[in-house]
């Protein structure tokens, strides 16, 4: 199916769509924090880059990245409709993620990026290994 809007109009429409946080993944991570006694986190901290969680005392920012949107190919699924648009969108997201990670690291912060798929129970050990720095 082809897009009914030209590139300029589609860009205008998409620029008005703003994330309201990915609540389900954030809530899953909060449960992991609670299960493992991880405290001191804050959500919705107003800083450029908008991490999902910050630990101000440890200068750690956590981003929970959706696998499709941020370029993790765990499922290897790609939409066939408007494939070029979605490929470019993912590439922009990946570039932006790298820029934000660098920005935080230049400020002396540690950045932890968690893939959405790592929140599944079968990947719990990998997730806990990433979060180990929060338990020190």
H helix intervals, 36-82: 67-70
CB within 8 A of 2, min separation 6: which ones? Answer: 82
CATH of domain 22-135: 3.40.960.10
Element (H or E) spanning 61, and its range? strand 60-65
pTM assigned to the model: 0.79
Instruction: Dump pLDDT digits (tens) for 17-46.
Output: 655 556 788 999 999 999 999 999 999 898
Segments of the chain scoring below 50 in pLDDT = none
Q: Domain-by-domain residue ranges, the chain?
A: 22-135
CA pair distance 34, 45, nearest whole angstrom? 19
pLDDT at 133: 92
């Amino acid at each position: 199916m082809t897009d009914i809007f030209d590139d300029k109009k589609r860009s205008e429409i998409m620029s008005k769509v703003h994330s309201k946080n990915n609540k389900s993944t954030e809530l899953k991570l909060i449960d992991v924090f609670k299960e493992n006694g991880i405290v001191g986190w804050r959500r919705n901290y107003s800083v450029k880059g908008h991490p999902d969680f910050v630990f101000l005392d440890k200068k750690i920012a956590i981003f929970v990245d959706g696998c499709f949107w941020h370029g993790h190919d765990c499922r290897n699924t790609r939409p066939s409709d408007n494939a070029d648009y979605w490929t470019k969108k993912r590439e922009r997201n990946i570039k932006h993620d790298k820029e934000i990670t660098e920005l935080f690291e230049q400020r002396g912060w540690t950045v932890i990026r968690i893939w959405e798929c790592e929140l599944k129970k079968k990947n719990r050990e990998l997730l806990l290994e990433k979060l180990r720095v929060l338990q020190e």
